[in-house]
Amino acid sequence: MEEQEQNPISEAKEVLTKLEEQNNKFKENLDRAERLKVEDLVSGKSLAGQPEKTEEQKEIESAKKLLAGTGFDEELFPDNRK
């Protein structure tokens, strides 16, 4: 009868060991993800949740800024998206 009582205890110890190993792996992965996020923020690679603009979109935006208030902006860009 002692063997039956020890089996659940030894099984629980095995499960506990496996959980501790998985928690350690998870913590390592979380630490790594945090380091990568900080690197992206510091290096300026973070997109801050906005889609990256194409070169054409950047040029149009620049042209709109240059032409703002001249009257040509409304003529060239009638949709008025800034």
54 φψ region: left (φ > 0), alpha (ψ -120 to 50), beta (else) = beta
* Predicted TM-score (pTM) of this structure: 0.44
**Alpha helix positions (H), 1-82:** 2-43, 55-67, 72-76
Q: Categorize the per-residue pLDDT at 23 as very low, low, confident or very high, splitting at 50, 70 and 90.
A: very high
The pLDDT of residue 14: 92
Domain segments of the chain: what residues? 1-50, 52-82
Q: Report the C-alpha gap between 70 and 73 in whole angstroms.
A: 7
Please give the residue that has the higher pLDDT: either 81 or 39.
39
